[in-house]
Amino acid sequence: MNDENKNEPREKAVDEEVAREMEGVPEHLRDDGETEEDNGLEEALAKLRGDLETAMQDVLYARAETQNVRRRLEKDVQDARNYGATSFARDILSVADNLSRALEHVPAELREHEKAKNFIAGIEATQREMEKVFNNNGITRIAAKGMPLDPNQHQAMMEVPTDEAEPGTIVQEMQAGYMIKDRLLRPAMVGVAKKPD
């Protein structure tokens, strides 16, 4: 027999004795163990528990907001790193275009001329170096000729009547387009095939 079972008869006897003593005492004078002070403490405790729960909820919301702000700032910093040179890159594209046009217009006989040969090789080396710098900075040329027109990357400048390509296919590139990382830097200006009249 454990200690709890031993104490049960004693507790019953005490409860019965208390009940006998309380006989005849009017109901309003009996002390049931709760006082007005106890009720006030319970109410205050309940209010404090409610306040604590509200404060804990506010802390959770504040943490979530702080986390969101941190993520936004990290994204802004990353975007600044990735796209900070966008304006400069747009400006330098015109230099690259002029360099390409200059090389395209060099006559074949001038390329064979001894004095001009080294000069042209230097310009071609400069163009290759510029393309390498573009690639190192995430600037890539947009594929155009032979591709279907993509309004997100290509700007149609004219329609070219032809049977040699499907309508909507790019048949001519007037100016190269470029992307910087995953953003459009400049659309390719193109001529698009259409059915002949």
Domains in the chain, number? 1
- Residue 72: predicted pLDDT: 95
Tokens at 84, concatenated: 């900070």
Tokens at 33, concatenated: 């163990």
Number of Cα atoms under 13 Å in the Cβ half of residue 179: 11
Strands 139-141 vs 154-161: parallel, antiparallel or unpaired: unpaired
Cα separation, 127 vs 121, whole angstroms: 10
pLDDT level of residue 22 (50, 70, 90 thresholds): confident
Cα separation, 158 vs 167, whole angstroms: 12
Q: Is the pTM of this model over 0.85?
A: no
- Residue 71: predicted pLDDT: 96
Q: Is residue 49 part of a domain?
A: no
pLDDT level of residue 152 (50, 70, 90 thresholds): very high
Q: Give SS3 for 142.
A: coil
CA distances to 49, 60, 63, 66, 180 from 53, rounded to whole Å, are 6, 11, 15, 20, 49
Which residues, in sequence order, are CB contacts of 18 under 8 Å at separation 6+? Answer: none
Strands 154-161 vs 188-194: parallel, antiparallel or unpaired: parallel
CATH number of the domain encompassing residue 148: 2.30.22.10
Q: Which residue has the higher pLDDT, 138 or 32?
A: 138
Q: Which domain holds residue 163?
A: 140-197
- Residue 29: predicted pLDDT: 64
Q: Is residue 29 part of a domain?
A: no
pLDDT at 17 > cutoff 80 = no
- Residue 160: predicted pLDDT: 92
pLDDT level of residue 40 (50, 70, 90 thresholds): confident
Element (DSSP H or E) covering residue 157? strand 154-161
Q: Is residue 178 part of a domain?
A: yes
- Residue 67: predicted pLDDT: 96
Strands 178-180 vs 183-186: parallel, antiparallel or unpaired: antiparallel
Q: Is residue 149 part of a domain?
A: yes
Q: What is the pLDDT of residues 71-91, one digit of tens each?
A: 999 999 988 887 888 888 889
Identify the CA nearest to 184 among candidates 93, 72, 117.
93
Question: pLDDT > 70: what percent of the chain?
Answer: 90
Mean pLDDT of the chain: 86
pLDDT at 13 > cutoff 80 = no
Q: Is residue 174 part of a domain?
A: yes
pLDDT at 190 > cutoff 80 = yes
Contact 111, 117 (CB under 8 A): yes
Q: Which residue has the higher pLDDT, 30 or 104?
A: 104
